[in-house]
Amino acid sequence: VRMMHALRTGFAKGELFVVYQPQMDLTARRPVGAEALLRWQTVDGTYISPDRFIPIAEYSGLIIDIGEWVLRSACHELVRLRDAGHRQFTMSVNVSQVQFRHPYFLDMLRSALEETGAPPEFIELEITESMAMEEPDLLIKMLAQIKHTGVSIAIDDFGTGFSSLSYLQRLQVDRLKIDRAFVTEITHSARGSSIAEMVIQLGRNLGLSVIAEGVEDERQAAILQSLGCPLAQGFLFARPMATAALYDWLNDEG
Ligand code: G
Ligand code: G
Ligand code: MN
Ligand code: NA
């Protein structure tokens, strides 16, 4: 309860901010987009992890306002990046299941796009695989309506749940994100790459884009590339950055 209060007042006081982690074309080693990630640092300097405060934002309902603010911030940033010449850059935004189930989610999405002028075809929403497994009928309907706005959908943490392949085929998603845990395993044992390999194959067979997250070293990147993984994100390439740092980084990357 105390943290809920701190989060509410912290959000109002501007203690929350958004950082952006570049996403790379693995072969060309060029940035193609970024994921928006929420951060909270209180005025006394304490940093609180999203793993701790997002669940609180969810059960208190604060995630509705916070999530809308993150989406709008990311849309604004995309527009600025486009104005600065990064015209093929995509922006991924995490969406909580509480937001997704909210009756005004679609209206909120449409007005965020309209009011910021962000082009929907360069916006991607990340939903988790566990979300994808609950209430399949609602999800299928929602995804179809989101598709209609022009925004694309990625399944985050893919491989950690157990969605069936036939179900996955019925979902209008565009991208699978290989969970960091499976990227870490790649170099740990002989069969460590099996799951990453399976997701990459699945993406290829279903015509979906695939991105590996949590890529921390060159060996992982090389193996993923040899397995045909087109995209990657992780500390090897760049950490999540505030916007000023993102611009500098993009200018250095060319
Ligand atoms: O960036 P970091 O690894 O600390 O994120 C921890 C978790 O918080 C991840 O699961 C990430 O998806 C989630 N997260 C980060 N930003 C947001 C956000 O804006 N909305 C939601 N719903 N989750 C987020
Ligand atoms: O669940 P989600 O994919 O949204 O979470 C992304 C989180 O992973 C972010 O909080 C980000 O800070 C973190 N992250 C990004 N790249 C790496 C990495 O290479 N290694 C580790 N350990 N964490 C990472
Ligand atoms: Mn994510
Ligand atoms: Na993830």
Residue 44: CB atoms within 10 A of its CB come to: 5
When the pLDDT of each residue in the chain is averaged and rounded to a whole number, the result is: 94
Tokens 């989610």 locate to: 105
47 lines ligand 1 (CB under 6 A): no
Within-domain flag for 202:
yes
Q: Please report the sign of the dihedral spanned by the C-alpha atoms of residue 99, residue 104, residue 110, residue 113.
A: negative
Tell the residue nearest (CA) to atom 2 of ligand 1. 50
Structure tokens at 200: 């990459």
38 lines ligand 1 (CB under 6 A): yes
Tell me which residue range forms the domain holding 164. Answer: 22-36+61-236
Q: Which of 154-168, 176-190, 234-248 has the lowest mean pLDDT?
A: 154-168
> At residue 210, does pLDDT exceed 90?
yes
How far, in Å, is the centroid of ligand 2 from the Cα of 239? 8
Task: Give the residue-averaged pLDDT of 149-158.
Answer: 95
d(CA 165, CA 132): 12
Within-domain flag for 241:
no
Atom of ligand 2 nearest to the CA of 126: 4
Mapping DSSP to helix (H, G, I), strand (E, B) and coil, where does residue 123 land?
A: strand
Type and span of the H or E element at 37: strand 30-41
Backbone Cα Rg of the chain: 18
ipTM for this prediction: 0.96
Q: How many CA atoms lie within 13 A of 70 on its CB side?
A: 32
Q: Report pLDDT for 119.
A: 98
Number of domains in the chain: 1
50 lines ligand 1 (CB under 6 A): yes
Within-domain flag for 102:
yes
Within-domain flag for 5:
no
Q: Report pLDDT for 254.
A: 64
Q: Report pLDDT for 20.
A: 98
240 lines ligand 2 (CB under 6 A): yes
Compute φ and ψ for 161, nearest 5 degrees: -100, -165
> Does residue 15 contact residue 42 with C-beta atoms inside 8 Å?
yes
Structure tokens at 126: 């990340």
Task: Give the residue-averaged pLDDT of 245-251.
Answer: 95
Q: Report pLDDT for 138.
A: 86
Task: Give the residue-averaged pLDDT of 220-236.
Answer: 97
Q: How many residues does the structure list for the chain?
A: 254
> At residue 240, does pLDDT exceed 70?
yes
Within-domain flag for 51:
no
How far, in Å, is the centroid of ligand 1 from the Cα of 36? 9
Tell the residue nearest (CA) to atom 24 of ligand 2. 214
- Bridge-partner residues for 41, per DSSP? 47
pLDDT digits (tens, 9 = 90+) for 119-136: 999 999 999 888 877 778
Distance in angstroms between the alpha carbons of the first and the last residue of the chain: 47
d(CA 204, CA 146): 23
How far, in Å, is the centroid of ligand 4 from the Cα of 158? 8
Within-domain flag for 52:
no
> At residue 231, does pLDDT exceed 80?
yes
Q: Report pLDDT for 169.
A: 83
Among residues of the chain, what percentage have pLDDT more than 70? 99
Atom of ligand 1 nearest to the CA of 70: 19
Say which ligand is closest to the CA of 95: 1
> At residue 158, does pLDDT exceed 70?
yes
The one-letter amino acid code at 52 reads R
Task: Give the residue-averaged pLDDT of 146-166.
Answer: 88
Tell which wins on pLDDT, 243 or 189. Answer: 243
How far, in Å, is the centroid of ligand 4 from the Cα of 178? 8
Q: What is the CATH number of the domain that holds 217?
A: 3.20.20.450
How far, in Å, is the centroid of ligand 2 from the Cα of 195? 18
Atom of ligand 2 nearest to the CA of 216: 19
Quickly state the pLDDT bin for 99 (edges 50, 70, 90): very high
22 lines ligand 2 (CB under 6 A): no
> At residue 49, does pLDDT exceed 90?
yes
Atom of ligand 2 nearest to the CA of 156: 3
Name the nearest CA neighbour of 179 among 207, 205, 210.
210
